[in-house]
Amino acid sequence: MSIELFGLEDIPIIDGNSDISLIIKEAIEKQGCGLHHGDIILIAETLISKSEENFIELEELTPSDQAIELAEKSGKDPKLVQAILDESNEVVRVGPNFIITETKHGFVCANAGIDESNVGDGLATPMPRDADKSAAEIREFLEGEFDEEIAVIITDTQGRAFRFGAIGTAIGCSGISPIWRRVGEKDLYGRELETTEIATCDELSAAASLIMGQADEGLPVVVVRGFDSFDTLRNVDSNIKSVLMPKTADVFRK
């Protein structure tokens, strides 16, 4: 088994007038790679937020008392802290240069997923308003244009508990189940798997992140081709919510 990953070149700077679906279609045609059955398109969340004009103008924010207090504890700018609070349901932990929150979407991550990179001065981009919906709209458009069954995953860069460094993580998906439940299958020794669940969309996002990069690579859209389990995981009604652990099952927040 082998998988091919490649970035779509010539993706322009995105603004509120940008049609992401059309831009991806044109990039595919210009690159001459086409779309094949089972291709998975991974898109950096910043593109989605930019196209939605989903920006935070930090200078316009007035920090609350809570934001000022958390800024002192974390060493972050109070205006940025206010933006983090505005995008969050709950503050989970605070430490040097980080604030872990549960976002309004239900993700537990650093700084509510707000990104200050690859945007203009004084601006920040929060997570897309509804990454599942955006993924579905892009998938449906591209499937109609190329007459192939594909999947779309919206990715973000997030850290992980108990490990340094960040990896690509799925925050929205369409056309593929984000979790591969393998309970009941057999291992190499014939033993039945009892608890195995694979976060497939996160694994694909992490792989794509190697090509997207985190600086000036300029490859925010990556195609994964040749993923053998696409048909097994095909699901046009999928969303990212099945990945999110409810607080009642989170032993670290009880």
| 19 and 60 fall within a common domain | no
Intervals of the chain under pLDDT 50: none
CA–CA dist 252, 59 (Å, integer): 35
Based on the structure, what is the number of domains in the chain?
2
CA–CA dist 176, 159 (Å, integer): 23
pLDDT for res 118: 67
| 160 and 41 fall within a common domain | yes
In a domain? residue 254: no
Instruction: Give every CB contact of residue 235 below 8 A, 6+ residues apart in sequence.
Output: 175, 176, 177
Residues in the chain: 254
**Residues 53-68: tens digit of each pLDDT:** 888 999 999 999 999 9
| 160 and 219 fall within a common domain | yes
| 84 and 137 fall within a common domain | no
Number of Cβ within a 10 Å radius of residue 65? 7
Pick from 140, 98, 117: nearest CA to 237: 140
Q: Which residue has the tokens 């990212």?
A: 240
With b meaning 16 or more CB within 10 Å and e meaning fewer, what string describes 156-192? bbbbeeeeeebbbbbbbbbbbbbbbeeeeeeeeeeee
CA–CA dist 83, 104 (Å, integer): 12
**Residues 59-92: tens digit of each pLDDT:** 999 999 999 999 999 999 999 999 999 999 999 9
CA–CA dist 84, 101 (Å, integer): 8
Contact 230, 173 (CB under 8 A): no
In a domain? residue 211: yes
Among residues 123, 138, 169, the one where a domain terminates is 123
Number of Cβ within a 10 Å radius of residue 125? 22
pLDDT for res 214: 65
Specify the pairing of strand 151-160 against strand 40-44: parallel
pLDDT for res 151: 98
Residue-range definition of the domain harbouring residue 114: 56-123
Q: Which residue has the tokens 């192939």?
A: 148
Specify the pairing of strand 197-198 against strand 40-44: unpaired
Number of Cβ within a 10 Å radius of residue 198? 14
The CATH code of the domain that includes 162 is 3.30.1330.100
pLDDT for res 251: 81
In a domain? residue 193: yes
Instruction: Give every CB contact of residue 198 below 8 A, 6+ residues apart in sequence.
Output: 179, 180, 182
pLDDT for res 216: 60
| 178 and 222 fall within a common domain | yes
In a domain? residue 186: yes
| 177 and 211 fall within a common domain | yes
Among residues 108, 123, 138, the one where a domain terminates is 123
| 232 and 107 fall within a common domain | no
